[in-house]
Amino acid sequence: MDTQISNKRKLQPLKIGDLEIKVPIFQGGMGIGVSLSGLAAAVAACGGAGIISAAQIGFMESDFEENTLEANLRALKRNVTDALKKSAGAGGAIGVNIMCAVRHYEEFVKASIEAGAHMIISGAGLPMNLPGIVPDTQAKLIPIVSSARAAGLIIKTWLKRYDRLPDAIVFEGPEAGGHLGFKPEELDSAQHNFYRTIEEIREEIGKGIEAANKAVKQTIPLIVAGGIYSREDIDKAMEHGADGVQMSTRFVTTEECDVHPDFKQAYIDAGKEDIVIVKSPVGMPGRAIANTFVKRTMQGRIPPESCNGCLTHCRPDTTPYCITKALINAAVGDLENGLIFCGSNAWRADRITTVKEIFDELTGENATVEGGSEEV
Ligand SMILES: Cc1cc2nc3c(=O)[nH]c(=O)nc-3n(C[C@H](O)[C@H](O)[C@H](O)COP(=O)(O)O)c2cc1C
Model confidence at 2: pLDDT above 50: no
Model confidence at 4: pLDDT above 60: no
Taking the centre of ligand 1 as the mean of its atom positions, its distance from the CA of residue 286, in whole angstroms, is 10
DSSP state letters, 94-149: EEEE--TTBTTHHHHHHHHHHTT-SEEEE-SS--TTHHHHSTT--SEEEEEESSHH
Taking the centre of ligand 1 as the mean of its atom positions, its distance from the CA of residue 91, in whole angstroms, is 23
Taking the centre of ligand 1 as the mean of its atom positions, its distance from the CA of residue 49, in whole angstroms, is 14
Q: Which residue from 196, 208, 199 is spatially nearest to 153, judged by alpha carbons?
A: 208
8 A C-beta contact, residue 57 and residue 111: no
Model confidence at 299: pLDDT above 70: yes
Q: Looking at residue 366, what is its pLDDT?
A: 60
Q: Looking at residue 374, what is its pLDDT?
A: 37
Four-residue CA torsion sign, 187, 188, 194, 197: negative
* CA 352 – CA 114 distance, rounded (Å): 34
CA 225 to ligand 1: nearest atom:
22
* CA 148 – CA 366 distance, rounded (Å): 37
Q: Looking at residue 213, what is its pLDDT?
A: 79
Query: Bridge partners of 286?
Result: 179, 278
Over residues 297-326, mean pLDDT: 86
- Residues whose CB falls within 8 Å of the CB of residue 118, separated by 6 or more in sequence, listed in order: 19, 49, 93, 94, 95, 139, 140
Q: What's the whole-model pTM score?
A: 0.94
Using one digit for the tens of pLDDT, what is the confidence trace for 176-224? 999 999 988 999 998 989 999 999 999 999 999 999 977 778 999 999 9
Provide residues with CB under 6 Å of ligand 1.
Answer: 28-31, 34, 53, 55, 97, 99, 123-124, 144, 172, 175-178, 225-228, 246-250, 341-343, 345
Taking the centre of ligand 1 as the mean of its atom positions, its distance from the CA of residue 121, in whole angstroms, is 12
- CA-nearest residue, atom 3 of ligand 1: 30
Q: Looking at residue 8, what is its pLDDT?
A: 63
Q: Looking at residue 67, what is its pLDDT?
A: 94
CA 249 to ligand 1: nearest atom:
25
Q: Looking at residue 101, what is its pLDDT?
A: 86
Over residues 304-310, mean pLDDT: 82
- Could you tell me the domains of the chain? 2-258+350-366 (3.20.20.70), 262-337 (no CATH)
Q: Looking at residue 211, what is its pLDDT?
A: 92
DSSP state letters, 330-342: HHTT-GGG---B-
* CA 187 – CA 193 distance, rounded (Å): 10
Q: How far apart are the first and last CA of the chain?
A: 14
Using one digit for the tens of pLDDT, what is the confidence trace for 145-170? 999 999 999 999 999 999 999 999 99
- CA-nearest residue, atom 20 of ligand 1: 176
Q: How many CB atoms lie within 10 A of CB 269?
A: 13
* CA 50 – CA 172 distance, rounded (Å): 17
Model confidence at 265: pLDDT above 50: yes
Model confidence at 41: pLDDT above 60: yes
